[in-house]
């Protein structure tokens, strides 16, 4: 289901350019738009949001499976991009920078939420909760998706949640966002070989987790994997 784009945030300045200005900005590249943002041009920010807002929303939604939280993360991303635009170094790799900032925002919040839930669990029952895994977040599936695909996506989602953060980040960026290995290396600040190792390890761990459930085993067979 296509996301409903979030409304303007109070943290984001209103775009001031008219239709002529908007047409001008649509002819610029992302690096040029970031340079304009660095000079305080809010119309350039509006164009960046037009181009990349939906991708940011989809990424955040896959991480949290929460529409409102995905909107919050999207707004926070563009606030951060605008505030830091003056320090941005244009090298023709805006997408890499975009996903680096977005991934850091999402996974920092994910870690904080898990720590908070772990503390709450210990406070409620320190004996029962010791050494246990946190329960995965309840999914809010896309209503138009077929039931069998919903089950498969849920199995993949739950399995991804159990993977180490760095491994999950690499898999999300490669398998869902389609980034090249070199771009992933830049996003995660790793070497190319480290990314290859992470992805190889991640696919094996994901297959192992999926193989523990009937839905996961069926999905692996459909996708040509091994259970």
Number of domains making up the chain: 2
| Alpha carbon distance 98, 102 (integer Å) | 6
For 199-203, what is the mean pLDDT? 91
Residue 8 placed within a domain: no
For residue 32, the model assigns a pLDDT of: 94
Are both 133 and 45 inside the same structural domain? yes
For 25-31, what is the mean pLDDT? 87
pLDDT of 200 higher than 80:
yes
Residue 9 placed within a domain: no
Structural domain of residue 223, as residue ranges?
141-227
For residue 114, the model assigns a pLDDT of: 67
**Sign of the CA dihedral with 20 first, then 26, 32, and 33 last:** positive
Boundary residue ending a domain (138, 154, 180): 138
* DSSP H or E stretch at residue 114: helix 94-124
For 126-150, what is the mean pLDDT? 36
Are both 109 and 174 inside the same structural domain? no
Q: Between the CA of residue 15 and those of 71, 76, 199, what are the distances in Å?
A: 19, 17, 40
pLDDT of 226 higher than 50:
no
For residue 11, the model assigns a pLDDT of: 58
Q: Render pLDDT for 10-23 as a digit per residue (tens, 0 to 9).
A: 455 555 555 455 66
Residue with tokens 């498969």, as numbered in its chain = 152
Q: What is the rounded average pLDDT for all residues in the chain?
A: 75
Are both 147 and 92 inside the same structural domain? no
Q: Comparing C-alpha atoms, which of 132, 170, 136 is closest to residue 153?
A: 136
Query: Hey, what are 72's tokens?
Result: 């919050």
Q: Render pLDDT for 139-196 as a digit per residue (tens, 0 to 9).
A: 333 333 333 455 666 777 778 878 888 888 899 888 888 889 999 998 888 999 999 9
Q: Render pLDDT for 77-107 as a digit per residue (tens, 0 to 9).
A: 999 999 999 999 887 789 999 999 999 999 8
């Amino acid at each position: 289901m296509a996301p409903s784009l979030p409304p303007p945030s109070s943290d984001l300045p209103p775009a001031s350019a008219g239709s002529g200005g908007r047409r001008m900005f649509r002819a610029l590249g992302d690096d040029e738009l970031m340079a304009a943002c660095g000079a305080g041009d809010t119309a350039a920010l509006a164009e960046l949001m037009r181009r990349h807002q939906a991708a940011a929303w989809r990424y955040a939604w896959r991480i949290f499976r929460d529409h409102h939280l995905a909107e919050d993360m999207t707004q926070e991303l563009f606030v951060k991009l605008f505030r830091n635009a003056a320090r941005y170094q244009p090298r023709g790799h805006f997408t890499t920078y975009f996903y680096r900032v977005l991934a850091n925002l999402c996974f920092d919040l994910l870690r904080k939420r898990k720590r908070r839930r772990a503390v709450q669990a210990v406070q409620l029952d320190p004996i029962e909760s010791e050494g246990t895994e946190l329960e995965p977040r309840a999914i809010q599936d896309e209503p138009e998706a077929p039931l069998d695909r919903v089950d498969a996506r849920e199995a993949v989602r739950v399995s991804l949640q159990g993977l180490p953060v760095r491994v999950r980040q690499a898999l999300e960026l490669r398998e869902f966002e389609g980034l090249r290995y070199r771009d992933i290396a830049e996003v995660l600040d790793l070497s190319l070989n480290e990314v290859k190792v992470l992805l190889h390890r991640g696919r094996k761990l994901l297959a192992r987790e999926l193989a523990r459930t009937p839905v996961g085993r069926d999905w692996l067979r459909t996708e040509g994997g091994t259970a």
